[in-house]
């Protein structure tokens, strides 16, 4: 019985860190996925910016049309 106890005490346990090899295919796939996500977000933001500019220009045109109508009515009154 003392032999078993002695073996349990002297048991050499090595806690070496596990070193894993770099998986280049996995890293390439992750990098590709990140680039596609960044490209998608950039395209979405560009499309949203264009849409906002079109709405802004439309609002400007309507404002100018109403101002033109007001100026024309004032011109008719003055004549």
Query: What pLDDT score does 13 carry?
Result: 67
Per-residue pLDDT tens for 9-51?
Answer: 666 667 777 777 888 899 999 999 999 999 999 999 999 999 9
* Predicted pLDDT of residue 17: 77
CA distance 2 to 12: 18
pTM over 0.85: no
């Amino acid at each position: 019985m003392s032999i078993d106890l002695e073996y349990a005490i002297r048991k050499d346990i090595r806690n070496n860190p596990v070193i894993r090899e770099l998986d280049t295919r996995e890293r390439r796939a992750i990098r590709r996925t990140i680039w596609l996500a960044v490209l998608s977000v950039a395209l979405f933001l560009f499309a949203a910016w264009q849409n906002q500019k079109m709405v802004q220009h439309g609002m400007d045109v309507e404002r100018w049309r109403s101002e033109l109508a007001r100026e024309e009515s004032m011109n008719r009154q003055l004549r």
